[in-house]
Each structure stands twice: as C-alpha cells, then as structure tokens.
Amino acid sequence: MASFVVREIDAKSVINRVQNMPFRWSINPYRGCRHACVYCYARPTHEYLGMNGADEFQEVIFAKVNAPRVVRAELGRRSWRGEPVAIGTATDPYQQAESRYRLTRGILEAFRDFRNPLSITTKSPMVLRDLDILTDLARDARVTIHLTITTLDESLWRKLEPTTSKPRKRLEALAKLREHGIRAGIFLAPILPFITDGDDQIDAVVSAAAECGAQFIWDGILRLGPGIDEYYLPFLEREFPDLVARYRQLYRGQNATYGYIQTVRDRVAAIKAAHGFVDVQEEDERRPMVEQLSLFG
C-alpha cells in the first residue's frame, strides 16, 4: 500500500454536536483513516474536502493539531454540562498518526482533568498507552472502550483491514483494559454477508471476547450507503467475484433485505447467549449507531 501524508490543520471546534444519533457529542482528532478498511462508512467525508473516498481517504490524513487545547477550552465553558462524548465516530483516534501527534492523549488529559465521561471506538491496542489516564478518569466518570473486531481469520483480516493491528492484539488490549477495571467490549461490526457471517466465524469472535472479559458485544450488518459501495463493490469484484451477483440480489438499497438481517441477528443473538452475553441494548449509547451505520472503519 502507498505511503501516507499527514496535513496539519487547526480546528475552530472539536466537540461536535451530532444530529439524529443516540449520542449528542462526538470528537474525531483526525480526518481520513490509514486503516483502509474496505467497508468504512466514513469514506464519503473526504469528498467534502474535494478529495475522493478511495485512495485519498487513507493516504491523506488531516491532523487537528490544536485539538487538545480547543477541547480543554470547550470543556471549561460555563455552558458545557458534562455530557458524555463519543471519541472516534468517523475515524480511528488511535490510527498510525497518533503515534507522532498524540492528539488523542492530549484530549483524554483534558477529559480527565474535567472528570467528563467518554467512550472510545478503536481497532488499535495503542489505547493501552493511555491506560493511566483512562484508569484515573474511570474513578469519577463513565469510561467505555469499544474495540472493533470483524473476524479472527487472519487471511480475511488482512484483506478487509489492511493496515490495522491483528485482531488477537485487540483482544489482548481488551483483556488488559478489563484487568484495570475499565468498561470495555467488542463491536462485531460490520458483519459482511457471505464473508464473515458464518456461525463458526461469529462464534470465534464472541467466545474469544468472553474469555477476555468483554462486558458487551454489539453487532451490525454491512450498510452500503453512497460512497461506500463505490469502494466496497470493486473490492468484491477483485477478491470475491463469485459473490457479486449475490450482493446485487441482497442489497436492493443501502441495507440488506429484511429477511437476511433478521436471520443473522437471530443467529448472533443465540451465539452471544450461549457465551453468557445478555443483549440489553439500552445499556450502551452506541448500539443504535452500530445498527444504523454498521461500524467501524
């Protein structure tokens, strides 16, 4: 894969108001994502910058270099009510650029100082770098870490998520977070029809998550919205050409057919129940988001 460049930008605001979602506030320290996940729903966001959602989304990363300072100012406003903030709703806050820029760590330091609740979604064990801050904050505010795992099959993983850490490394991070009392679990999303939707594949992720102490597993099925299908369908043609016709039948619009969705949800629910997971959706603010967007890229 080609190398990537990081462009430094200043942001006027960092804590963003979110519409039509189950959470009200979000933070994304970066725009674009080096993970290059073939199913990423956030690819169209680069089009607002006059770039494409294919190669440029994963090769031109924007770092909001003033983000920690801006977040600290926003948390300190009299009008701020200390509401939970979701970090990493569009791109991974622990993608490769974070090793250099440490923006996410700076943001977390501000949240710790203001004792403000948060949740983080990531595919990276780099989250353990900030275990000291997360542990401190968790003593006074709700902290939740979501680690996305779509498959434990390493041959599939490398095709689907080319530059991410190995799924087993994410599971090790999950176990470490739980050892330190941090609320953490798995996003089994998106489930890819005919690729990662087999009972054996799902059971492998769920059973491993249970062994690592996951407190929840939220699942979602691939959604092919505008800008996503333009990248995902060529991937299918290249890697799984025999599935192209089946996808055309399954996706008449952005979502798979109702019958398929219900069948998969029932199977996942049964597997989760067999490993002791109770699917109490209201316990987590992000479950509806997983269902709507089929995260995460």
| pLDDT confidence of residue 116 | 98
Residues of the chain with pLDDT under 50: 281-297
Q: What's the start-to-end Cα distance of the chain, in Å?
A: 17
- CATH number for the domain that contains residue 281: 3.20.20.70
CA 238 to chain centre: 25
Distance (Å, rounded) from C-alpha 209 to C-alpha 185? Answer: 7
| pLDDT confidence of residue 286 | 45
| pLDDT confidence of residue 288 | 44
Distance (Å, rounded) from C-alpha 4 to C-alpha 287? Answer: 32
| pLDDT confidence of residue 212 | 98
Close Cβ partners of 239 (under 8 Å, ≥ 6 residues apart): 159
| pLDDT confidence of residue 285 | 45
| pLDDT confidence of residue 67 | 98
CA distances from 11 to 49, 53, 65, 71 (A): 14, 21, 8, 10
Kindly report the pTM of this predicted structure: 0.92
Distance (Å, rounded) from C-alpha 108 to C-alpha 116? Answer: 9
| pLDDT confidence of residue 279 | 63
For residue 262, with 0-12 CB atoms within 10 Å meaning exposed, 13-18 middle and 19 or more buried, which class applies? exposed
| pLDDT confidence of residue 1 | 57
| pLDDT confidence of residue 49 | 73
Q: How many domains does the chain have?
A: 1
Domain that holds residue 252: 5-293
| pLDDT confidence of residue 50 | 75
